[in-house]
Amino acid sequence: MEQTLLSHLSSLNLIDDVDRKKEVFKKILINCLGATKKENILLITDNGYENQQIAPMLSSGYAIAAKELNLNLKVVIQEPLKLGEKASDEASRNMKELREKSIIIVCVSGKVGTTKYIGKSFRKFAKENMHRYISTTGMRDLRTEDFNRFIESLDIDYDKMKERCALIKDELIKADEIRVTTDRGTDLTLKIKKSTIHINDGNYTESGTGGNMPCGEVYLAPLKKQAEGRAVIDLSSKNIHGTTLLTEPIELIVEGGDVVRIIGGNSGAEKLRETIEWAEINSKYPWGIRRLAELGIGTNPKAQVSGNMIIDEKILGSAHVAIGSNAWFGGSVYAKIHVDQVMKEPQFYLDGKEFNINRIFERTKE
């Protein structure tokens, strides 16, 4: 399958573009995953779509890097999948057959898919089997020519990233309440569930850990129903169709922890409302669909506005909230969706006192 993947890119005259960036992929395999020659690495990918080849390009980068590092990598290629669709039998079988404490890399145009053998939660499966993993999904939002810009968000100083995220978490863990405001009108306050404060800093060297690549956020869930106010989303919005770059803002009105109104006449607001309604109709227990699930702080200095949520939510100097599920990082909500909404230039207050996060950004500047 590895040769099939590389041959696919060669036929599109893209393999040289990937090969030039192989050192970035080596850095991720060694520094972020701590991969060794004794371990099995399973790479799950697809062949993308016309003019949307980011997923196979990233996968080929890992394949080239792994070969030069003499790592034991196996590639599985499946069809591009959407939310709710099943992973291929080959992909789920290979995940099931992995010995404990292996590595899984997911680079797909949409979703990795639900699996026949291991259930619906990839994260739970990886943790229970002590696998380390990295996941890059939703690449259909990007075009092939966005490859170099995407690589920029991966080619960072990971030591600085760890320091930056740790300093932010250290401040959050001391507080009981966080308030976020923006000049566009955001004024949102939530009680912090301290056990849910997590770091996505690219350090996945411990068994049972993993996360998105590119990395770069500190995130948390509010205490049950303890979020109130208004969030003005003015950068990008996740929905069932993908990620929408916003030219006009979306306003989320939050009462008792739920998003009770979505204000806006633009396409982003319409798609978000459609997403909420779709999830409520298709859920056996729809009570958590509208729950404000997350507040996240972007910390990646090389992430640029792209219209792809896996990058946009990591932008240094941004914040995001999510609607829906948060059980996978310690919250109490199991929902069919988890849709992130990104805002620009937030200001933060911890227990009523201004939290000047820019000082941390400046201290850990690359």
The span from the CA of 146 to the CA of 209, in Å, is 28
Nearest to 182 by CA among 237, 226, 234: 234
What is d(CA 301, CA 316) in angstroms, rounded to the nearest whole number?
5
Residue 146 and residue 180 in one domain: no
Does the reported pTM lie above 0.75? yes
Does 148 lie in the same domain as 186? no
Both 162 and 118 in one domain: the answer is no
Alpha-carbon distance of 287 to 309, in angstroms, equals: 25
Do both 265 and 358 map to the same domain?
Answer: yes
Tell me if 9 sits within 8 A of 18, measured CB to CB: yes
* 211 and 99 in a common domain: no
Residues 202 and 289 in one domain: yes
Dihedral pair phi/psi, residue 350, rounded to 5°: -110, 120
- Asked if 140 and 209 sit in the same domain, the reply is no
Q: What are the angstrom distances between the C-alpha of 129 and each of 113, 135, 193?
A: 18, 16, 27
Q: Which of 154, 183, 198 is the last residue of a domain?
A: 154
Cα–chain center distance at 297:
12
CATH value at residue 144: 3.40.1830
111 and 197 together in one domain:
no
Residue-level pLDDT, tens digit, the chain, 366 residues: 889 998 998 999 999 999 999 999 999 999 999 999 999 999 999 999 999 999 999 999 999 999 999 999 999 999 999 877 889 999 999 999 999 999 999 999 999 988 877 776 788 889 999 999 999 999 999 999 999 999 999 999 999 999 999 999 999 999 999 999 999 999 999 999 999 999 999 999 999 999 999 999 999 999 999 999 999 999 999 999 999 999 999 999 999 999 999 999 999 999 999 999 999 999 998 999 999 999 999 999 999 999 999 999 999 999 999 999 999 899 999 999 999 999 999 999 999 999 999 999 999 998
Same domain as 188, residue 113: no
Q: Which of 96, 130, 154 is the last residue of a domain?
A: 154
Residues making up the chain, counted from first to last: 366
Burial 191-226 (b: 16+ CB within 10 A, else e): bbbeebbbbbbbbbeeebebbbbbbbbbbbbbbeeb
**Residue (of 288, 292, 266) closest to 188 by Cα position:** 292
Contacts for 81 with CB less than 8 Å, ≥ 6 apart: 46, 87, 108, 110, 111, 112, 113
Query: 148 and 177: one domain?
Result: no
Last residue of a domain, one of 154, 188, 203: 154
Q: How far apart are CA 348 and CA 340, in angstroms?
A: 19
Domains contained in the chain, number: 2
What φ, ψ does residue 334 adopt, rounded to 5°? -105, 115
| Extended strands (E) in the chain | 40-45, 72-77, 103-107, 132-136, 177-181, 187-192, 198-200, 210-212, 217-220, 222-233, 236-239, 242-245, 250-255, 258-263, 292-298, 318-324, 338-344, 347-350, 353-355
Q: Are residues 88 and 170 in the same domain?
A: no
188 shares a domain with 122: no
Residue span of the structural domain in which 345 resides: 158-363
